[in-house]
Each structure stands twice: as structure tokens, then as C-alpha cells.
Amino acid sequence: MPLDPQFRSVIDQATAAGALPLVQATAQETRSHYRSLAVSRRGADFVPEPVAKVVDDAVDGPAGPVPVRVYTPTDDRGRVITYLHGGGWVVGDLDTHDPVCRRVANAVGATVVAVDYRLAPEHPYPAPLDDAMAALAWTADRYPGLPHVVAGDSAGASLAAGAALRARDGNGPALAAQLLVYPATDPSMSTPSMRDNGEGYFLTRADMAWFYDQYLPDRARRGEPHVDLLHAPDLAGLPPAVVATAEFDPLRDEGDAYAQRLRAAGVAVRHVPGPGLIHGYFAFLGVVAEADARSREVLAALDDLLP
């Protein structure tokens, strides 16, 4: 498909306004810029999707308290999701992904625990993953007996997939499923989509290279299985997965390939492609019609996987 015309307009307007590229001179400037983009794309008439309750709390993490935000859905169907936001392991927070977490909670009928994990470059790998594991344990302890999903988008999906591997190996709670929305799984950045979609579609190849440099300054660690997920030696025994990808995303091929590897390892997989869509489309809920529709399809697939 061609690029969705609403996304064509979004990209053209952002480019004309000087809002792209995503990455600015420093991590702090990039965080500020990303927050501004997150707020601006919600539109002047934005109203948060209502949920039953929102409470801020904190998890006892390996290096101190890790802030979390707990969303109770309007129709609670007895599930719980630990959600890890995207942002290249460098940007993003509880506020930037608030609309996404509200949508996830209501669509799946699940309590969502959103995690404000430590960010690179101040806290490179494995600090964000360590915080994710602490949040998983906290969620499992707080909501015992409920089907527990680890979820995330982009870098958060990479963390979610890495957390699922750790949990499978006995270092975390039992998980009912994993939701991976356009995950980063290949730090070599060598796929055809990284080349073909590496310029002009919001997230660029240069952005990803910079994010990896912040998160994994020690290049020797980029081959570790919790990072180089696409080439992890053993994916058997992982929880069922929903993997969502986007056609015009540099990360498309590595997400597609990870879904295939999971399936080949005997993991139940629902792969939901995103024709005409770009990386980050989950953040354009209520703004781009096709992003809204596809996000509901992704979450319906997750809903089907859960008891």
C-alpha cells in the first residue's frame, strides 16, 4: 500500500515545522523535543480516554524507586499488563504514553501498570531491563492469580521481549502473553526495511543508530540475547505473542522476522502487519483513522489470546 495519506500529511507538516528529525543534539534536548511532539500530536481538542481509576505508585527497583502508573479499566475482566513505553531507551515517560495505556486498559479489560524505567545514556543496558523485571515482579505480587502480560512499543517492546526471556529462564513471574508493538530486535540494523524506510518516515536509521549508541555504548554487549533478540539461540517456551509491525517502519523486517522465529520455536503468535502505517502509529490514536483501527485490531488479537 502507499503511505497512509493522513500520515503523509503528519510527516510533511512536522518536517515543515522543523520537528524532525526526532533526535536533537543531546539526550536532554531530545527528551524535551519528544515530549513536545507527544503533546502536540494529540490535537487541540484532545480529551483523555476515560478509565475507572489512575493511581501513581512506585516499585522497589534495583537502584531505588521506579515510578509506575496504574490504570484500572472501565470494564475489568481480570487481567493485568506490565507496560513498557517506547522512545529508544532514551526518551518517553508515563505522560507521553498515557493515551496508549488508557486504550490498552479498556480494550483488553486489564489493569495496566505503566513503568517509568531508568533511561540511557545515564542508565545504559541492562538498567532499563532490570527495572522492567522489578516492575514485573511487583505487578505479579500485587495482582496474584491474574493472567499477566508483558507489553511495550518500540524500545519498550524490545524490553518486553527481553523480560519474557528472563522470566522464562526463572528470573521472573509466569506470563500469559507478550504484546510487542513494532519491536527493535536486531541491533545490527541490517534488514532491507532499515535501508528502504530509513529516511522520510518519522523514525530514521540515523535515529536508531544514535539510540543504540546511548543504550549500548559497549558494543560487545549488543550480541547478548536480551538485546539481539532476533538471533537469540533459544525462543522455545516463551509465552504466546502478539507482534505488530508497520509497513513504512525501519524496524518492520526485524519485527516480522522475530514473529517468524517465535512461531518456528513453537510459540503461538498473532502477527498483525500495518499496511500504510509508520513507526509509532500507536501514539496517533484519535488522530489518524487507520492507526486507530489497527491499534484496535492488535489489542483484539491480544484479547483473544487471554482467558
**How far apart are alpha carbons 3 and 5 in whole angstroms?**
6
Active-site position among 249, 253, 271, 295 = 249
Element (H, E) at 2: none
- 271, 297 in Cβ contact below 8 A? no
- Find residue 57's DSSP bridge partners: 68
- 305, 270 in Cβ contact below 8 A? yes
**How far apart are alpha carbons 166 and 182 in whole angstroms?**
20
Contacts of 71 (CB under 8 A, 6+ apart): 51, 53, 54, 101, 102, 104, 105, 111, 112, 114
**How far apart are alpha carbons 247 and 18 in whole angstroms?**
24
Has 249 been annotated as catalytic?
Answer: yes
**How far apart are alpha carbons 230 and 261 in whole angstroms?**
8
Has 154 been annotated as catalytic?
Answer: yes
Residue with cell 519474557: 164
**How far apart are alpha carbons 98 and 94 in whole angstroms?**
6
Q: How many other CB atoms sit within 10 Å of the CB of residue 121?
A: 14
Has 153 been annotated as catalytic?
Answer: no
Contacts of 18 (CB under 8 A, 6+ apart): none
Active-site position among 4, 97, 279, 295 = 279
Active-site position among 33, 130, 148, 154 = 154
* Pairing outcome for strands 110-115 and 79-84: parallel
Q: How many other CB atoms sit within 10 Å of the CB of residue 223?
A: 13
Query: Which residues carry out catalysis?
Result: 154, 249, 279
